[in-house]
Structure 1
Amino acid sequence: MHFNDLPNEIILMICRFLSPIQVINAFLSYDFRMFSCITEYHLTIDLSKCSYTDLQVYLNLLVTKRIQPLTLTISNVSMPTQIKIFFDAFSSILNFCFNHVHQLSLLECTTSDISNLEFDLRRFELLRSLRIVEAEWNNYGSSIDYSKIEYMRNLLFNNNLNSLTELELSIREGIVLDKQQRPKLNLKRLTITLQTVDDLFILFDGLTPNLIFLNVTIRLSTA
């Protein structure tokens, strides 16, 4: 029996003993049946536990479009500069787009990562789900960074990500809202950190009129 003759169940059992990138490298060049068999490995990419070497392999596959994931997670948890490394890899490719990505998670973001989001997110025009979570240790103990708050607020309520139906936004200080923000009409699910309860009232006053799920954390008391 040739390897290609093995049933999918056996192939997937073998995959359990390999890392995700090893699975992709091993089967990506096989026929369509093999490629389809490892769908979960190349359509859902989680870089949060990648080594630097594995990250470079993923980046090469993404740049050459040999893999086009629907779900992508980039995180500074294990590699403190992973988000920067990821987007720097595409900085010289002006027209490169991730239109195949529908769910994007950016975890443990630094202030520098957040400051570059306006440009970086332009590459993701068809996002349906977006998570942006700031690192708890980012600027810990420093004063409230209102410029960052304003930047994030304007980025997420005044940009062109109109395809979003699900959004999670968590930054240390909490977002400050105002009634001048452009409503997110397609947004159905929202998890957000706000600075005060007054911001929650503003949120309810037309910014997200079609929500079916809301999870809010309030950072500061107004008392």
Structure 2
Amino acid sequence: MALSIAILASAPHAFANHDHDHHHDDGEAHAHDHDHDHDHDHNHSHDHDQGHAHDNDIYAGYFDDAQIADRALSDWEGDWQSVYPYLLDGTLDPVFAHKAEQGDKTAEEYKAYYDTGYATDVERIVIDGSSVTFFANGESMTGDYQYDGYEILNYEAGNRGVRFIFELADDASEDALPHYIQFSDHSIYPTDAGHYHLYWGDDREALLEELTHWPTYYPSSLSGEEIVDEMLAH
């Protein structure tokens, strides 16, 4: 496991990806074929519509610096599973077919694109307090992480994203654990995450430049079909 985590911390497939020609979907706030369709019920109250539009703007990466607030690791607390196995076994195929109906790629091209983005050996992550446990290849490794601020990323498409960063505690006993983990989940202030993209490695600045791979995690309690429903709903 130590070797696996060490490799993941530096290899390209451990990180995340962005395509600047996108609209709005389940990738990071500025990219990953942002092609979610948000159908609005215009019978809702004006305030509700305003709030929903406001949330959609943030999700799509349009917000003011003043709206950003520090977040605690508890926002991502829970037991999380990688979506990559569901791509490999075909469970996510309906998602790629849906994207092809609205986007500029075939379903096969979308699947290949997400195959690169989702790829990771870390099939499960458990976050409890300051403790983060990575599960890969039948083994686990745990470290304590402390908040190290956030970074705003500006994208070529004109929108932006925020990475919330946590640093491994100095007394970590496992040298192979990534020194930094960076969360992106479309939110920019404290809220419980419904899913997230995680970047990890030992070079804080280099991780901010990683725009090719984005291992993505949903609650372990969800089935593959439920994750498909979640993705199609956004």
Task: Give the structure-1-normalised TM-score.
Answer: 0.24
More strand by share: 2
More helix by share: 1
Q: Which has the higher contact order (CA 8 A, sep 6+)?
A: 2
Whose Rg is larger? 1
